[in-house]
Amino acid sequence: MKCTNHPRVEETARCAECGKPYCSACTVELDHRPWCRDCLSRIVAARGTGSRVHPGWRKLAAGLLSIVPGAGHMFLGLIGKGFMLMGLLVVTVFFILLYSDATGMYWMTAYLIPTISVLFLSYAVFDSMAIADAQRSGREPHGTDDDAMKTIWERVLLNRSTLGWVILLAGVVGILRLFADPFSRWTMALFAVSFPLAALVIPVVLLIIGILLLKRSRQEK
């Protein structure tokens, strides 16, 4: 194939950014990759003379580190987003364990935690590799500031009210476990039915929260 700028000259390489064919006079070798002068000029104009094209191994490293969701993003310099992924995964797993332990529905731990872990892992790996690929070519990575994750991080993980409720709920479940057996024997003696005291707490709390959310959504309409 002929050079894009010189129709009579055979191509020697294709630009790593635009993919067009160019001859040796029209390309610049950088980080072991060929770049056309137009693309390099556009990168420098967009990111400044201090910008650099990251080596390709960073993409693989980010993907491998993302086996621990968030670690790959931290490696790429996105510390905040990395902590978002890690924090959200830890909080989600904590709630599942708390709920399954309190209600005795341990199948939730067996099924939900692996499923959620795979979802977090897939997002972390592919998102970090996409960002690394954008950094490698000198382009500004898209999706660095994920609005949905930012909202979850600010309103849930870093929210004092949410943290307070989580700690309060965990404390209540722990205290009720002390009275669970006597309460079950008492209900069995009176009603011939055994009520698991600790198992009732979290479902009732979730029911109340759901009712409040539905009520609030109707008011907003």
Give the pTM: 0.51
The answer to whether residue 149 sits within a structural domain is no
184 assigned to some structural domain: yes
Asked whether residue 19 falls in the same domain as residue 64, the answer is no
Q: Is residue 152 part of a domain?
A: no
Q: Are residues 62 and 133 in the same domain?
A: yes
45 and 68 both lie in a single domain: no
In a domain, 41, yes or no: yes
Locate the DSSP E strands across the chain. Answer: 13-14, 21-22, 27-30, 33-36
3-class DSSP assignment, residue 29? strand
Residue 58: the pLDDT is: 80
**Do residues 176 and 197 both lie within one domain?**
yes
Q: How far apart are CA 40 and CA 112, in angstroms?
A: 47
- The distance between the two most distant Cα atoms of the chain, rounded to a whole number of Å, is 98
Of 210, 214, 84, 74, residue with least CA distance to 148: 84
Q: In whole angstroms, how far apart are CA 115 and each of 10, 81, 120, 167, 209? A: 52, 21, 9, 25, 25
Task: Indicate whether 70 and 46 sit together in one domain.
Answer: no
| Residues 215 and 175 occupy one common structural domain | yes
> Of 144, 177, 196, which closes a domain?
144
Which residues have C-beta within 8 Å of that of residue 20, sequence separation ≥ 6? 4, 14, 36
Same domain as 63, residue 43: no
Q: What is the pLDDT of residue 28?
A: 83
pLDDT tens digits in sequence order for the chain, 221 residues long: 888 888 888 888 888 888 889 888 888 877 677 888 888 777 766 655 445 555 567 888 888 999 999 898 888 888 878 888 888 888 888 888 877 776 677 777 888 888 888 988 998 899 888 888 777 765 555 444 555 566 666 666 556 676 677 677 767 766 776 777 777 777 777 777 666 666 666 677 777 777 877 777 777 66
Query: Are both 7 and 45 inside the same structural domain?
Result: yes
What's the domain range around 115? Answer: 56-144
What tokens appear for 163 in the block? 């943290």
Q: Is residue 154 part of a domain?
A: no
**Residue 47 confidence (pLDDT):** 56
Is 90 in the same domain as 11? no
For residues 164 and 175, membership in a common domain is answered with: yes
Domain limit, last residue, from 118, 144, 170:
144
User: Based on the domain organization, do 139 and 60 belong to the same domain?
Assistant: yes
Domain presence at residue 40: yes
- Per the structure, the count of domains in the chain is 3
* pLDDT at 102 (0 to 100): 67
Q: With CA atoms as reference, report the closest residue to 143 among 154, 129, 157.
A: 129
